[in-house]
Amino acid sequence: MILVRDAVEADVEGVARAHVRGWRETYAEFLSPPALQGLSVEERAAQWRGAFARPDPEAKVVVAEAADGEIVGFARGGPLRGKEPMLLGTETELYAIYLIDKVKRQGLGRRMMRDVFNHLATHGFASVGLWVLKENAPARRFYERLGGVAGPEQSFDIRGDWVTEIAYRFEPIPAL
């Protein structure tokens, strides 16, 4: 039984571990080893600690917690903050969603998206967008299944790898 619940400050280490593991497992297919090696749990934990230290009531972080207490995934969304907000063109953004391999495809992604989307809709927002690697076909199918519509693309460098992302937008924000 896996629980989806709001994240609390004590989750920082667990979220950082899930973040790095989820990133490595998912992107092993799309990124080169140097790009994957650059990530560290400590670095991520520091970023997450910063986010918890300055909580934004309009943002939402949820975690998926296994019966043994391990954080196996998380999702985070809130007001638009990307590098090129105009390109995404939505009021809010799903900043990240990650599950580790062993818990994928059990409905947890949908449950986490539902919590984040409900939170944004409750705060009066009408649209949410996100960026996903163009090559990340499983995630793109997931977003499309939930009603996301593909939009513009942007390319940039991730630690030496030139990658292309594609935007998805949800408007109105669906009740999943």
Ligand X SMILES: CC(C)(COP(=O)(O)OP(=O)(O)OC[C@H]1O[C@@H](n2cnc3c(N)ncnc32)[C@H](O)[C@@H]1OP(=O)(O)O)[C@@H](O)C(=O)NCCC(=O)NCCS
What does the binding site for ligand X look like in residue numbers (CB under 6 A)? 22, 26, 97-99, 104-110, 132, 136, 138-139, 141-142, 145
Name the minimum Å distance from CB 34 to ligand X: 20
Name the minimum Å distance from CB 165 to ligand X: 8
Residue with Cβ nearer ligand X (48 or 98) = 98
Residue with Cβ nearer ligand X (14 or 53) = 14
Q: How far apart are CA 124 and CA 78, in angstroms?
A: 12
Name the minimum Å distance from CB 99 to ligand X: 4
| Secondary structure (3-state) at 160 | coil
Q: 29: buried, middle or exposed (CB in 10 Å: 19+, 13-18, 0-12)?
A: exposed
* 42: its two tokens: 């400590």
Name the minimum Å distance from CB 129 to ligand X: 11
Residue with Cβ nearer ligand X (62 or 97) = 97
* Rounded CA Rg of the chain: 15
Q: Within a 10 A sphere around the Cβ of 132, how many other Cβ atoms?
A: 20
